[in-house]
Amino acid sequence: MAKNRLAACFTAFIMMQLLAGCSIHQSAIAGDGHYTADTIDFNEVKWYAQRASAAYNSAKQIKAAFPDTVRVVQVRDSKVQYFLESDPNAGLQIISIRGTDNLKNVREDVEYIKSKNNKLDIYVHSGFDEATYKIYNDIVPFLKKEYKIRLTGHSLGAAISTLLMMYLHEDGFEVERSINFGQPKVTNKDGAARYGFLPLTRVVNENDAVPLVPPVTLLSALHGVYRHMGDEIILLKGERYVYLKQHQASKKLIEGFWENIDHESITEHFIANYLININSKLGKSIRVPYAQRELYLDQHAD
């Protein structure tokens, strides 16, 4: 019963957030498609998070919240759902991809072997890539080369969003921006270096364990350990956050996945908690150094 009440509270919270999510947000990014320490716009981050959250809802709910939606699909032979918005006036299409439809133990996904993706010419997470390929085949006929594309997703949806961004780039589409939430790693060092120029920002709750997946295992030796790409915003409680540039984020050490997993709060992975942490930074936000973040883990803004 308590679990049902918690789920109901999250659903109600998400629906309240969607009511404010309809308008097209003008991007405040730097010229290379990445944020800088001085250009982070949490209203823009929320704009993406609302769509990543909405991807979990029904087609009727999505279309009510985002009237520019032209397609909502749960891809055949897959539990992955996405929706596509199209704004002819702005020359813009927005792809939002749902994460897992239930929260499984994160250990279930850590042993996937990488496989070589011939289209991208890199090694990628086999399970994530299989789901991406299904969405890619479904959505490409509905995309327009003359439109810019934005992408977002949460959890599994974030991983697919990142791989789909690579696919679309190779097809000659202009990817303007991608902001993802709670994204697991999708490729190795070489893959991250090859596509590191793409305009990806990963948003991570400090105590979310899923971005640590897959951790270093014996399988990592086959084609190199998994690596993140893109710059990173780490959300602390209250007004505080950490920002890491792309090269900093790729070098940031993870202090032993298996040592951390028992005390990482899995509830921090819920998209509703991402929205809570983003909302607390809309009026005022305070950037803190990565090395000092632990001083603020259990504190709200003064």
pLDDT of residue 150: 98
- Tens-digit pLDDT profile for residues 113-127: 667 777 887 788 777
Is residue 99 within 8 A of residue 158, CB to CB? The reply is yes
Q: Are strands 240-244 and 286-287 parallel, antiparallel or unpaired?
A: parallel
Quote the pLDDT of residue 180: 97
Strands 226-227 and 187-188 come out as antiparallel
Q: Give Cα separations from 280 to 18, 92, 168, 235, 275 (angstroms).
A: 17, 29, 34, 10, 9
pLDDT (0 to 100) of residue 76 = 78
Query: Distance between CA 171 and CA 253 in Å, rounded?
Result: 34
* 14-42 tens-digit pLDDT: 333 433 344 455 554 444 566 766 679 99
To 10 degrees, the CA torsion angle through 157, 160, 164, 166?
120
Distance CA 288, CA 296 (A): 9
Q: Residue ranges of the chain with pLDDT lower than 70?
A: 1-34, 36-38, 101-114, 214-223, 250-265, 297-302
Which residue, 297, 183, 195, 196, is CA-closest to 245? 196
Look up the pTM and report it. 0.82
Write down the pLDDT at residue 110.
47
The H or E element spanning position 226 is: strand 226-227
The CATH number assigned to the domain with range 2-296 reads 3.40.50.1820
Question: In the prediction, which pLDDT does 212 show?
Answer: 74
The pLDDT score that the predictor gives to residue 114 is 62
CA Rg, the chain, in Å?
A: 18
Grouping H, G, I as helix, E, B as strand and the rest as coil, residue 214 is coil
E strand or H helix at 83: strand 81-87
> Shortest CA distance to 96 belongs to which of 81, 78, 116?
81
SS3 state at 150:
strand
Residue with tokens 């010229």: 31
Residue 139 parent element (H or E): helix 126-139
DSSP 179: E
pLDDT confidence of residue 216: 57
Tokens of residue 199, six digits: 């305009």
